[in-house]
Amino acid sequence: MPELPEVETIRRQLESLLTGKTIHGVSIPDPSVTAPLPPRAFGRRLRGKKIKALSRRGKYLRLELDGGGMLVIHLRMTGVLTFARKYDKISERRHLRLVIDFGGGGALFFRDQRRFGTAAILEPEEIKPFFDRLGLEPLERSFSPDILAKLLASRKRPLKSFLIDQSMIAGIGNIYADEALFRARIHPLRPAGSLSTAEVRRLNRAIKATLAEAISLAGSSIDTYRDARGRRGRFQEVFRIHRRAGEPCPGCGGTVRKIKVGGRGTYFCPACQK
């Protein structure tokens, strides 16, 4: 499931490939990806636009266009975004939803098995309101223990639910919430507002360290995730806790447990996480 580390990996890989290129053509095999905008209108608004820069906000990949608009892509559960220089090198048409063609400069292919992924075009005035709904960027310096403490204060919901709420912190999903909580040695069911100052500091550091390590390993490929070159990530090879139910905890040797929190499968060590 593409979360912040996966989207950031793709952003870094695509940056040099797409920046400065002009969109030549748009093909939309599955109109649900651009809905509610009809495919024709979507293509018309993109053709001729130049990619000025690639940025990321939470789990959104943002292609900044000349003229001030923006193409915003969200991969949701099973979205895969790859770049190929030669159109015909892509023989895999399975689950293909959207192709953005840069003429002789290659093409961007958006595939999505479960069809939750989206691509939207934002006008300049729509950009700020759209992203203002999102919470803090966890890898920015401004994401400090103090800021996190203020955000957690007086909230009663389970920490796990808090961490995956995109309006609080943007970019953390199910995998990295579990891994960060294990690293911080805090139980996923603890009420968000119940953490001590020391625990908030640990959680802050754990979030940053977990995300940074995952980016350094090109993200996690459990099932469908691939980077922009079509390669698997490697962070799943060093999962400490996620998807390890029944296995020994890497910290104490006890047994990793799985519970449901807010409808999400949640993995933790009852001995290490208090």
Binding site for DNA (CB under 7 A): 1, 3, 32, 58-59, 74, 76-77, 95, 113-116, 133, 155-158, 161, 164, 166, 173-175, 192, 260, 262-265
- Name which of 94 and 141 has its Cβ closer to DNA: 94
From residue 151, give the alpha-carbon distance in Å to each of 123, 130, 158, 210, 243: 31, 21, 13, 20, 28
Question: How far is Cα 224 from Cα 1, in angstroms, rounded to an integer?
Answer: 8
Which residues 6+ apart lie within 8 Å of 44 measured at CB?
Answer: none
Q: Tell me phi and psi for residue 142, to 5 degrees.
A: -70, -15
- Output the smallest distance, CB 195 to DNA, in A: 13
Question: How far is Cα 39 from Cα 31, in angstroms, rounded to an integer?
Answer: 6
- Output the smallest distance, CB 164 to DNA, in A: 5
- Output the smallest distance, CB 59 to DNA, in A: 4
- Output the smallest distance, CB 25 to DNA, in A: 25
Active site residues per annotation: 2-3, 59, 264
User: In the structure encoding, which two tokens stand for residue 12, read together?
Assistant: 């870094």
Which residues 6+ apart lie within 8 Å of 172 measured at CB?
Answer: 3, 4, 138, 163, 164, 180, 207, 211
> What are the DSSP calls for 129-170, one per residue?
HHHHTS-B-TTSTT--HHHHHHHHTT--SBHHHHHT-TTTBS
- Output the smallest distance, CB 48 to DNA, in A: 28
Q: Tell me phi and psi for residue 63, to 5 degrees.
A: -100, 110
From residue 211, give the alpha-carbon distance in Å to each of 52, 97, 172, 216: 27, 29, 8, 9
Q: How many residues make up the chain in this entry?
A: 274
Question: How far is Cα 221 from Cα 240, in angstroms, rounded to an integer?
Answer: 15
Sheet holding 70-74, edge to edge: 51-57, 60-65, 70-74, 118-122
Contact 227, 233 (CB under 8 A): yes
- Output the smallest distance, CB 155 to DNA, in A: 4
- Name which of 145 and 191 has its Cβ closer to DNA: 191
